Every structure is written in C-alpha cells, then in structure tokens.
Amino acid sequence: MADFWTTRSGRWRLRLREESVGELHERLFRVIRDEIEDGRLPAGALVPVPKRVAAELNIETVYVEQAFQRLLAEGLLEQRDGQRLRVADVEGDSRVGAETQVLFERNLIEAARQATDMGLSTLDATGVFKARIRELREAHERSVDDEDDSES
C-alpha cells in the first residue's frame, strides 16, 4: 500500500511543479481534486495523513492541511467519527473502500504464497490470482443477491 501512495505523491510532486498559478495549498488542492474527479483517486480510498504527504512532497504540513480542509469543505474528502480522511463517494458509486482494499491485498498475498508454494511461474501465479478474484466476485454477488432477497 505504501507504493500506491508513493507513486501517487510522485505524480502530485510533478503536477505541483507544472502548476504555477496560486498559493501552494491551492495548487495542491487542484492536483488532488483532479485525481479524484478523473478516478485516479477512487471513492473510499484512504488518504495519507498530512505529515506524510508533506514529507513526500517536501513541503510544509500546513499547506497539505489547508488543501485537505478545502477538499473536505467541497465534499471531495470525508471524515467519519474522527477517523482518517477518505475520498468521498460523490457520485454514489463507491469503487473501493477500506474493506475492499484490505480484502484485495490479503487475497493477493495469499495467491502469491500459493503460487510460490506450488513453484509456479509468474504467468501461472497470475492465473491463481485471477481465479481467486473470480471466486471473491462470485461470493460477493451471492451476498448481494441474498441481501436483495431478504429486503423483498
């Protein structure tokens, strides 16, 4: 998961260099807003703490906090019960949530272990992972169907 944010903050750093208009916190706001709006930062994704973002971007934490406050005010980020910030589900189509991220990572690690234990090639390991994802999707669809049946 750390690579996910490091890669993202690397893009943010490049975009900040390209952005030349406005205060630093305004430019950071626009960079993050654009990533949310184009789906590169999906609904439900947890946002790293301002101190970490500031360190990765080599800027002062206050600028990150100001950008995050504006994103919160505009409804692009949300914070529930004092928990960490996450990307808000502005369109009603949450593409990923914390639970989904954890489940995905857990299953990816398990598939990698199984592949290694079986001495599989990279191609075969990919097949194991795809099969596991297919199983998860089917289980999810069954649970959604069960919920729909119980509501009827």
The residues, any chain, with a CB within 8 Å of residue 21's CB and separated by 6 or more, are 27
Q: Quick one: which H or E segment has residue 78? A: strand 77-78
Claim to verify: residue 35 and residue 79 sit in the same structural domain: yes
Dump pLDDT digits (tens) for 101-149: 566 666 666 766 777 777 877 667 667 767 777 777 777 677 766 666 6
65: pLDDT strictly greater than 90: yes
Tokens, residue 32: 């993050």
The pLDDT mean for the chain works out to: 77
Dump pLDDT digits (tens) for 90-113: 665 544 555 555 666 666 667 667
17: pLDDT strictly greater than 90: no
SS3 of residue 86 by DSSP: strand
- Please state the φ and ψ torsions of residue 46, each to the nearest 5 degrees: -70, 140
Comparing C-alpha atoms, which of 68, 62, 17, 67 is closest to residue 46? 68
Residue 55: give the domain boundaries: 2-87
**pLDDT recorded at residue 92:** 55
**pLDDT recorded at residue 108:** 65
**DSSP H helices in the chain:** 2-18, 24-37, 50-57, 61-73, 98-117, 122-151
Q: Look at residues 63, 87, 111 and tell me which one is the last residue of a structural domain.
A: 87
Claim to verify: residue 73 and residue 115 sit in the same structural domain: no
Domain count of the fold of the chain: 2
Give the predicted TM-score (pTM) of the model.
0.57
CA distance 79 to 88: 9
